[in-house]
Amino acid sequence: MIAVTLVIGLVLLAGAYLLVAKREDASYLLKPKNAEVVARGERVYAEHCASCHGANLEGEPEWRSPKPEGTMPAPPHDGTGHTWHHPDELLFQLTKYGVKAVAPEGYKSDMPAFEGVLSDEEIVAVLSFIKAQWPEELQKNHDALSKQK
């Protein structure tokens, strides 16, 4: 039942993404091969993300099952999670505006919006750091997904 809820939530989240207006520029594109951007992202991750998603991108325990209050735990951002299933633009929007801005009504998440906390460049940097930690094959799959938009 929990797995079905998670799958439905992810499908609805992907559908919501399609309804969100596309940015005219490509400033949200990740740069996992840019060492300077990745190093900046590592610092931003340690300060703003690691407390929930783990110092090693491992996520919270039991991240596939809702917490007692109904919110979903922070997923891992390493290759074992689902982060790489989402294109650059959606990852950027989720981080900047929070899950509530793009998820269907009723989807519960503790993920805050970082608009006003992080600049767009910092958001791209932290997401680039995360992507740089994935195995090469997942990075290639994510590149292809992001190009489909």
pLDDT per residue as tens digits for the range 20-37 = 444 445 678 899 999 999
pLDDT, position 12: 45
Q: What angle do CA 94, 99, 101 make, to 5 degrees?
A: 90
Q: For 40-94, how does the pLDDT look when each residue is reduced to its tens digit (9 = 90+)?
A: 999 999 999 999 999 999 999 999 999 999 998 999 999 899 899 899 999 999 9
Domain map of the chain by residue range?
2-148
pLDDT for 1 equals 54
Distance CA 63, CA 118 (A): 25
- Distance, CA of 99 to chain centre: 9
CATH placement of domain 2-148: 1.10.760.10
What are the beta bridge partners of residue 131? Answer: none
Q: What distance lies between CA 61 and its chain's CA centroid?
A: 17
Q: pLDDT band at residue 147, thresholds of 50, 70 and 90?
A: confident
